[in-house]
Amino acid sequence: MKKYVLVLLMFCSIMLVGCGKTTEKDVIKDITKNVEKSGGYYLEGEMKIINNEDTYTYDVEVSYQKEDNYRVSLTNTANNHEQIILKNNEGVYVVTPALNKSFKFQSEWPYNNSQVYLLQSLINDLANDKEKTFEEKDGLYVLKSAVNYPNNNNLTSQIIYIDKGMNFKEVHVLDSNGVPQIKMKFDKIDMKATFDKNHFALDENLKTANTDETYRPVNSIDDTIYPMYMPDETHLISEDVINIENGERLILTFEGENPFMVVEETATVAEEMEIIPVVGDPMLIADTVAAVTDTSITWVSNGIEYYVASEVVGQEELINIAKSLSVSAMVSAMEK
């Protein structure tokens, strides 16, 4: 009789433990429900972009409101330069308040690729990967899934860390060797956030134009920035400097099997709000947000506007050239 009671108690204990164990399905169901039922959320965090030996750190603020409204503020901690990715019923914009300019995109952002700082994107990546993995480690639920970065095929997977309260804590995006290339740490998430009616309006987000005292316009190009990455069988054939109103324009022409052009121009603050149409997507290029199309990449960094273009070089190669220019510019700034 005692033996029977003991076996029964052991069986009940096993059943209770089994029933209490949180599964992958439980976690995904709960975090998906939290995001889908939210009428709006606000989050703050820190994102690190790792490019070989260089790391670029951003303070991130994300506002989301149902009916497809997004506002993503990315502030480079090295120079306090802020850019805003904005989506509302009028379109997708990358706003640079200090220059009173914005790029307007014909784009499916943020749904056309993974976004490490958007909760919906993380949920979609998990839903789309039938081979995702799950484990419980150090008091956190750890999910690993594939990612979708069409402009960077080297980014292949991500690890998502969830706490016991079903809150997102961190995300690490890995390359094909399993090395982190992007790290996002969530410091604050409010799933019941509400916003002013103009919070997602373009003109409201440009009101800080010319009040950013961290931005200092430049009138000349002191140092020519050369790309550290060069496509095969390609070389520099000319450098031309052109005087323009309130500054200079430098044109670098590269020829060979993979010809391309680099334009470096002193960026000016527009007197009136300037909207530049782009057929492409916003993308982080090292220390700033760039406008990326099939044949060109445009961005502004430290008072200089960069433009890389080619009808021959593929988009991934153009991105590599752009990234190497950003690294060269950073090295040049550090040497001053």
Quote the Cα angle for 205-208-213, to 5°: 145
15 pLDDT above the threshold of 70:
no
Which residues face 96 on adjacent strands? Answer: 101
Is the pLDDT assigned to residue 184 strictly greater than 90?
A: yes
List Cβ neighbours of 197 (8 Å cut-off, separation of 6 or more). none
The pTM is what? 0.86
Residue-level pLDDT at 54: 83
Q: What is the mean pLDDT of residues 239-245?
A: 92
Encode pLDDT of 68-114 as tens digits: 999 999 999 988 888 999 999 999 999 887 788 889 998 899 998 99
Identify the bridge partners of residue 323 per DSSP, sorted by sequence position. none
Residue 312, amino acid: V
Q: C-alpha distances in angstroms, 59 versus 47, 51, 158, 195, 207?
A: 6, 18, 20, 20, 20
**Confidence check: pLDDT of 140 > 60:** yes
| pLDDT tops 90 at residue 115 | yes
* pLDDT value of position 99: 81
Domain boundaries, the chain: 24-205, 234-266+293-335
What does CATH list as the number for 24-205? 2.50.20.10
